[in-house]
Chain A
Amino acid sequence: MKVLIAEDDRITRLQLVKFLEDWGYQALAVANGNEAWQAFQKEPCHLLITDWEMPGINGLTLVKKIREIPEITCYIIMLTSHNETKDVITGIEVGADDFIKKPFRKDELRVRVRAGERIISLENRLIDQNKTLSLANSRMKRDLASASKVQSSLLPSHPPENQTIKFAWAYQPSEELGGDMLNIFMLDENHIGLYLADVSGHGVAASLLSVRIHQAMTPYNKQSSFLFSRHEHSTNESFAITSPAEVASNLEQRFPMDLTGLYFTLVYCIINIKTGMMAYINAGHPPMLWLDQDGQSQLLGCNNPGIGWGLGMAFEERSLQLHNGDRLCLYSDGITEACNETNQQYGPDRLAAFLSSRATDTIADITENIIRDITLWCKPKQPEDDRSMILAAIDSLS
């Protein structure tokens, strides 16, 4: 360990060098504060033993200057004939770590230098550990950013092609990775499916489960998808659309909380685009908001628990006849439970009022403006939960 000695008294200096070298330290001695400051700037030391009174820069000023360099760790012992408490306080205030009264005893010097060495060693270990942690943190952030991109890529890139219903959606995770998932897809030429799921909690575990839900509810691989079931007694590969209640039951069996440690809420709708008939299931999710062509709103819920609880209950499915001009809003609780500074929630009434007041706007504009309105409502608070939403406008039923 390198020790810099700043001491104008030649004999004290000689003693310090001799003792420190005998104990295996690498000692460099200078005769005043200016030389010490130059030596320190040239090559910082681990430990500085400095006299208080010296020609040029005195010990206190030297300590102050060294402490102004934040990234350097140096243990500083002041040698002094000052033994008043106020002098000790002054020295510690400017950054000295310890004091030795002159003339010093060899054994006292030894224990104080050893104490300094222990502290420097601990500080260096802490610096190394912080570096390791910082590297690991950067790597984790990069991984999370990549995972976030992957998760976002699972969201619908464009609405399903149809002339009957227009769709818009918003997805805003509260952290890098969200526990919400949504999708809109054609099930066949007459049916559109849409769902919004909200996994309990946030972060990596919740997002992984949301990705698994997405896989289970994809329409592209009918054999493995929960959205279709093989026709009984059929000899060829023909599939029927699975009802929302059955989809919920299948998800309940596949993702029990015992296995994942998580549960999720779900709203899943199947809309017949020819007749406007909608079948839906709501499993523990905030009720959908339905606005008719006159702007009257109604909340559509079901008496079902969230998925994963394993309560063994049959899921209740409901249906609704939709008409041209109706609008439907599926949203996660991060929308209606978004709190302002006084902990007042945004609430379903405010959401309904917002939707009613913008009957002539495009649904893409409405979706964007709702998210903006909620952000303003919460300001300056940051989102505490994922916010996601699907807005559907029934346009031209035949």
Chain B
Amino acid sequence: MNDMFDAQFNGPLYRPTEFRELRAPLIEPPRRNYTPRSGFVSLFGERPSTASLGLKPAPAPIDLTPSDLERGRRRILEKSEQARAATEAAAIAAAKAAIAAARPLAPLHRILELLRERAPEALSSRQIADALDIDVNQISSRLAMAKKSGEIETVSQPKTARRLFRWVGAQ
């Protein structure tokens, strides 16, 4: 059983997901001075243009105002929020796929333990319950039974138990 369980988790590759929101840069690089040093003037008699040297032309000077910076700050926060949403969606998709792979092969408490170890905090207990296609209360009662029967040893440790119950929405 364990071999099948491990093989399932390490087997199929996941379909690529687009993360355009996460790849978009939040800020632009600081202006770099592409103007050739004055030494060129004495060597060549005149200052060569950046184009003639095959260099990227210097960007136009940026006159940033406080309102520009405020706009930039809002943009960063907005982009970051999009990134969080994309990551949460990825977490839910990954959890659903992992649960689907694990469910025929492992008991519920084992799946929950694995989720607790690996899933990001972003994943709510309700999302886990939805992915498992069961009620949140059902997870709690199943875990309580597992704890009573000694199937889940970690629940006897208060800190771990709190984390676990946070996952499943008991408290």
Q: Tell whether A and B belong to one assembly.
A: no
Interface residues, chain B, with chain A CB atoms under 8 Å away: none
